[in-house]
Amino acid sequence: MTEHHRTAHPAPHVDGNALAGPLAELFAFDVTDAVARCGSCGTADVVARAMVYRSAVGTVVRCPACDDVLATLVESDDRIWFSMRGMSAIEVRRR
Amino acid sequence: MRRLPRSAWHAATVASVRPETSQSARIELDVDGWPGNAAGQHLDVRLTAPDGYTATRSYSIASSGPSSRVVLAVDRVPGGEVSPFLVDELRAGDQVEVNGPLGRFFIWEAPGADVSDAPNAPDAPDVSDAANASDAPDARDASRPVQLVGGGSGIVPLYAMAHAHAEAGDDTEFRLLYSVRTPEDTFFRAELAQLAVNGPGRAGGIRIDLIYTRAAPTGHERPPMRLTRDEVARLVVPAERAPRVFVCGSTGFAELVASWLLDLGHDARSIRIERFGGT
């Protein structure tokens, strides 16, 4: 989502709140207030507190505690690739 | 926690666009099928060019409640792809697509308020450390003071919370610390002054502390400069009173304020942050 002329000045990271829209197309619940456990350091926290790095290529979601990759998201016009390889578990509240 | 409406893509018609500050516009949208939203939620705006190219950006919502009239305040990011169009080119009657309402993390709801007509679901009890980590809102939160800290256009979701608090006549203690460049750069200037008329001691009231970083109004005692740690220590509800703190601003602003709050003894689980990068 970042503009091409911005490559010399990369946009700062944002946070997991920004995932609410893109992931609403994939999940029946709001992922941003689900709790994810980092497969690397074991920290469990709500996805909204993760660090999110967006570029023209895609989105990388990193653990707020150890900075390891929790998930990646790549979107095109007709499909979405979503990897959660850095999460060992995710806890979703029933409503 | 109360049940919030599900998000979906909606067709929206621009009802009005007017300058908010010299660098921003207040945009009112009539959103077809909008289910209402909680204070602090955001939406994604998608623009489609004639050649089919699309660009999507997230914007906080300045309004809350069941209405399908949704208010945004959008800052013009120089060189940005979407915001200059929204601020400078968008006109009443134009159509955009919006996905929302989005986000359950950065929200404040008045006790007893319900933005949707869906039945209320009781909260499940916490069963694990992970559940505790979520710091999900529950009945115990109702009596805790609320501290809002905003930088620049980061005021937008916080204004929605302050307004919802005032509308509800809610007796939770509310404070807002708002850092802005100049008086002319202040979002919701008249509305904030109106909200502050009801002081912090009254239901729906709020204490507002404005920090001017570049130019202050005539007669303002504090010289214009950036917000300092000492000011945060002095103006924010103290940690021992266990406030719920909502911080919204640029990534740099939000992380600096959050680091000071942690230094001052605030519990990390009581601090909710929404950062924005800016395109």
pLDDT tens per residue across span B208-261:
999 999 999 999 999 999 999 999 999 999 999 999 999 999 999 999 999 999
Q: What is the pLDDT of residue A69?
A: 98
- Among A14, A21, A44, select the one facing B102 at the smallest CB separation: A21
Query: Residue A14 domain-assigned?
Result: no
| Residue B81 in contact with partner chain A when CB distance is under 8 A | yes
Question: Residue B125 gets which letter from DSSP?
Answer: P
Query: By percentage, how much of chain A surpasses pLDDT 70?
Result: 88
Query: Residue A1 domain-assigned?
Result: no
Query: Residue A46 domain-assigned?
Result: yes
Nearest CA in chain A to B3: A95
Using an 8 Å CB-CB cutoff, list chain B residues near A32: 103-105
Residues 6+ apart with CB under 8 A from B219: none
Q: What is the pLDDT of residue B19?
A: 97
C-alpha dist (Å) from residue B255 to A24, B180, B270: 26, 17, 15
A25-57 confidence digits (pLDDT tens): 899 889 999 999 999 999 999 999 999 999 889
C-alpha dist (Å) from residue B54 to A77, B49, B205: 9, 6, 42
Query: Residue A49 domain-assigned?
Result: yes
Q: Counting one residue from A and one from B, how many pairs have CB atoms under 8 Å apart?
A: 106
Whether B81 sits inside 8 A of A95 (CB atoms) is: no
Cα-based angle B149, B191, B180 (whole degrees, multiple of 5): 40
- pTM score, whole prediction: 0.91
| Burial degree of B174 (CB within 10 A; 0-12, 13-18, 19+) | buried
Query: Residue A13 domain-assigned?
Result: no
Name residues 9-68 of chain A within 8 A of B (Cβ): 11-18, 20-21, 24, 30, 32-35, 37, 44-46, 48-49, 54
Query: Residue A2 domain-assigned?
Result: no
ipTM of the complex: 0.88
Q: What is the mean pLDDT of residues B26-32?
A: 98
C-alpha dist (Å) from residue B195 to B66, B69, B159: 21, 21, 10
| Summary mean pLDDT of chain B | 90
State how many domains chain A has.
1
Q: What is the pLDDT of residue A8?
A: 42
Q: What is the pLDDT of residue B263?
A: 98
Whether A2 sits inside 8 A of B103 (CB atoms) is: no
Range of the domain at A32: 20-91
Using pLDDT thresholds of 50, 70 and 90, give the confidence band for residue B138.
Answer: low
Query: Residue A79 domain-assigned?
Result: yes
> Is B126 a residue whose pLDDT tops 90?
no
Q: What is the pLDDT of residue A11?
A: 63
Q: What is the pLDDT of residue B120?
A: 40
- Among B103, B135, B252, select the one facing A32 at the smallest CB separation: B103
Query: Residue A68 domain-assigned?
Result: yes
Q: What is the pLDDT of residue B125?
A: 35
| Residue B125 in contact with partner chain A when CB distance is under 8 A | no
Using pLDDT thresholds of 50, 70 and 90, give the confidence band for residue B79.
Answer: confident
> Is B198 a residue whose pLDDT tops 90?
no
Q: What is the pLDDT of residue B162?
A: 97
Using an 8 Å CB-CB cutoff, list chain B residues near A48: 103, 105-106, 272
- The values of phi and psi at residue A24, to 5°, are -65, -25
Q: pLDDT: is B22 or A9 the higher one?
A: B22
Q: What is the pLDDT of residue A3?
A: 41
Q: What is the pLDDT of residue B142?
A: 72
> Is A7 a residue whose pLDDT tops 80?
no
Structure tokens at A58: 């895609």
> Is B90 a residue whose pLDDT tops 60?
yes
Using pLDDT thresholds of 50, 70 and 90, give the confidence band for residue B277.
Answer: confident
Rounded Cα–Cα distance for residues B221 and B203 (Å): 29
Whether A46 sits inside 8 A of B105 (CB atoms) is: yes
